[in-house]
Amino acid sequence: MNSISIYVHWPFCLSKCPYCDFNSHVGMVADHQLWLECYSKEIEYFKTTIEGKYIKSIFFGGGTPSLMEPEVVQGIIAKLAGIGTVDARTEITLEANPTSFETAKFKQFKDCGINRVSIGVQALVNDDLKKLGREHDTTQALAAIKSAARIFERTSFDLIYARPGQTLKDWQEELTLAAELMPSHISLYQLTIEKGTPFYRLHQDKKLILPKNDVAADMYEWTTKYLKELGFDRYEISNYAKSGEECRHNLTYWNYEEYLGIGPGAHSRLKNYRAVKQHLTLITSTTGIMMWHKPEKWLKSVQEHGCGVQSVDILSNEEIIQEFFMMGLRLKAGVNLKNLKNITDQEVFSILSEDMLKYYTELNLLNFSEDHIALTDKGLMLHSYLVPRLFILR
């Protein structure tokens, strides 16, 4: 049976973090029933995309999905299960923040079908939590981690490192504390400065100073070594897991498999997409779909048209190959070039630069053979710089 992953975007947060450039909006939703109705309508719109397929993962992301009423989560899962196949193996993840208001609903979320939670801890230092704009403190974060471990079989939490003023010793002490409660999966992100955020303006004005690159690199290398000693493998640039506990939903993205995004700002990559508006015209190439970003615009579009689709784009072979490598080379395992045959027939080396492949191999940044390419440990640290330079300039 063909499989598909489903992403459901909840765009609301209690507050906007100064480093965040995600599609999130501050505010509480009064009419949760309306949102459930609109999510259900959009899922129904994509019925022909979902039916007959095994739904291997459902991911409630945001924003802050733990602000959703459990009944909304339950309704969405039930709607999907009524179209595709959902069973005990389906990974159903909900992102949560560790405020007491949200963690109090953990048991209800489990009863609704959630079997994995990802907690946005971000730091275990109270002063840094305030600087990051978080609504919780360290005590609440540790309590949330413990609570999730008691209720869910699979849990994960996020931390941000290379924060302003943070030293390698600071990070070592913090991650050691986290390790005492560490579940079988953890995501560790280096703080990046994104355009349009308050942190970007502060950084431009020299009011926000990050650790130097070599310090951040030392943090990254020490983290990988330390977690490996604890039985965690870095299977992706920022993600570590014990064997078998990798996030199956995110692997869908990194392996360039099919997924459908529902909700404001969500995007999709679909194969053999039947375009409803085009009278069920079959599009055999990979199709990219983007929903309206603003919640009110998405709601209006769903109510009037049955979906919040803003754009539908048929990707060219070159676009597909570029996305395939940008995503796949985030993985420690790299990419199997034979898998490209399931996506496009274009000759890989007509778009990849063999000269750059050889050059990066000589620098011990990359390993490649006739059917496989992967970045080395050193290369993974430079992913965003290296990968775009692998492509032949036109």
- What is the reported pLDDT for 283? 61
Task: Give CA–CA dist 214/196, Å, rounded.
Answer: 26
Which residues in the chain are classed under CATH 3.20.20.70?
Answer: 3-251
CB atoms within 10 A of CB 153: 10
Give the pLDDT confidence score for residue 216 in this predicted structure: 95
> Fold for domain 3-251?
TIM Barrel (3.20.20)
Q: What's the predicted TM-score (pTM) here?
A: 0.94
Query: Among 108, 74, 95, which residue's Cα sits nearest to residue 7?
Result: 95
**What's the pLDDT score for residue 371?**
85
Specify the pLDDT at position 275: 66
The predicted structure's pLDDT at residue 127: 96
- Condensed to tens digits (0 to 9), the pLDDT of residues 113-135 reads 999 999 999 999 999 999 999 99
Q: Which stretches of the chain score pLDDT less than 70?
A: 1, 275-284, 346-347, 393-394
- pLDDT number for residue 284: 62
Extended strands (E) in 12-147: 12-13, 25-26, 54-62, 91-96, 116-122
Give the pLDDT score at 193: 92
